[in-house]
Amino acid sequence: MGIPSFGIEFVPMELFWKTTYYTIQAEKLGYDSVWITDHFNNRNVYVSLSFIANYTDKIRLGPGVTNPYLVHPVMTAQSIASLSEVAPGRVLCGIGAGDRTSLEIVGSKMKNPVRTVRETVEIIRHQLAREKTGYEGKVFNIKAGAKFNFKPEKNIPIYVGAQGPKMLQLAGRIGDGALINASHPDDIKRAVVQVKKGATKANRNFDDVDIAAYTSFSVAEEKKEAKKAVVPVVAYIVAGSPSSVLETHGISVEKAREIRKNLAERNWGEAFGAVDSQMINAFAVCGTPEECVSKIDEILKMGVTHFVTGSPLGPDKKNAINLFGKEVLPHFIEP
């Protein structure tokens, strides 16, 4: 196995310059990629990415992930094609079905997610290639002549964000990469099996698929502080996880239901107070730099080739990025 890639995720809740500052810091420390989440209630993902692109030189960047329910695939293709002119050879595109709760808030329903994501990937590639023909799918139809008036970069890698078996297999069938939404080695191991199954069905070389573990991550000099920072994220993961996943990790379905109820009612103290160590171990990579090295090493052994540190990163973003870059990364990238 070669040297893995390491990425970082940011939620664009803060001012553009802050996210850009953190990315500059990450690039200098040796991170390979930055992923910006796409939710309607945060700052626009492509404005954020364009800002970042202008102030960085090497780090790869892209939406992680955008969805085809709020943004038409043609517009996503246009956005990443335009971004590739700002950052040639550095653009990535993460596509997923989106967050069901967020979609419902704005009156959009998640219908036929696997089929919809599949057609989205096909349309993006169709548009980047400036095909003269139209596209006829069961979800989307594009007439002939819907060709860009500019010549975009053709080979922008497309990653499929996945958690369930069918979407994971889709990532293996058509994705340049799979963004596996999991943090526990056992969950990732099961996910890699599904990605491999999809690649086999499509007669693809599994090694051509970049396997990215898109984790909830928190690092701090003190384990207690790292755990404290990740509690809100884990609370939402527990609340949104199906019973089968909870039971796999020995987590009470009833307890998860109570957390979900308290989150909905904005009873933050009760919701976050119910998160225990078992939940954190199941749904986050968390601890001191030494502990994180051990956990990442275990995850990489599951077949992961790209490790992404997702929210919250740690109790303090700047310090967490430094800790990871100086005390964790060297264990994996130095000969």
Q: Is residue 91 pLDDT above 60, yes or no?
A: yes
pLDDT digits (tens, 9 = 90+) for 234-250: 999 998 888 888 999 99
Number of domains making up the chain: 2
**Domain of 195, in residue numbers:** 5-221+288-333
pTM: 0.95
Read off the pLDDT of each residue in 243-261 and give the average, rounded to a whole number: 93
Query: Quick one: CA dihedral 312, 317, 319, 320, positive or negative?
Result: positive
Taking CA atoms, 307 is separated from 212, 255, 302, in Å, by 6, 30, 12
Joined together, the tokens standing for residue 160 give 């499929």
Of the candidates 292, 298, 284, the one whose C-alpha atom is nearest the C-alpha of residue 330 is: 292
Q: Is residue 1 pLDDT above 60, yes or no?
A: no
Do 139 and 187 belong to one domain?
Answer: yes
Do 165 and 276 belong to one domain?
Answer: no
CA-CA distance, 155 to 24, in Å (whole number)? 25
* Average model confidence (pLDDT) across the chain: 95
Taking CA atoms, 106 is separated from 100, 240, 254, 327, in Å, by 10, 18, 29, 42
CA-CA distance, 156 to 39, in Å (whole number)? 22
**Residues 258-263: contacts with CB under 8 Å, at least 24 apart:** 259/235, 263/235, 263/236, 263/239
Do 194 and 122 belong to one domain?
Answer: yes
Q: What is the pLDDT of residue 46?
A: 98
CB 185 within 8 A of CB 298: yes
Residues in the chain: 335
Do 264 and 201 belong to one domain?
Answer: no
Do 216 and 72 belong to one domain?
Answer: yes
Q: What is the pLDDT of residue 335?
A: 61
Q: Is residue 127 pLDDT above 90, yes or no?
A: yes
Of the candidates 38, 36, 43, 78, the one whose C-alpha atom is nearest the C-alpha of residue 59 is: 36
Do 215 and 229 belong to one domain?
Answer: no
Joined together, the tokens standing for residue 77 give 């293709």
Do 258 and 272 belong to one domain?
Answer: yes
Do 139 and 198 belong to one domain?
Answer: yes
Q: What CATH number has the domain bearing residue 99? A: 3.20.20.30
Q: Which residues contact 298 (CB under 8 A, 6 or more apart)?
A: 185
Do 44 and 21 belong to one domain?
Answer: yes
Do 276 and 247 belong to one domain?
Answer: yes
Q: What is the pLDDT of residue 2?
A: 76
Do 313 and 254 belong to one domain?
Answer: no
Do 294 and 253 belong to one domain?
Answer: no
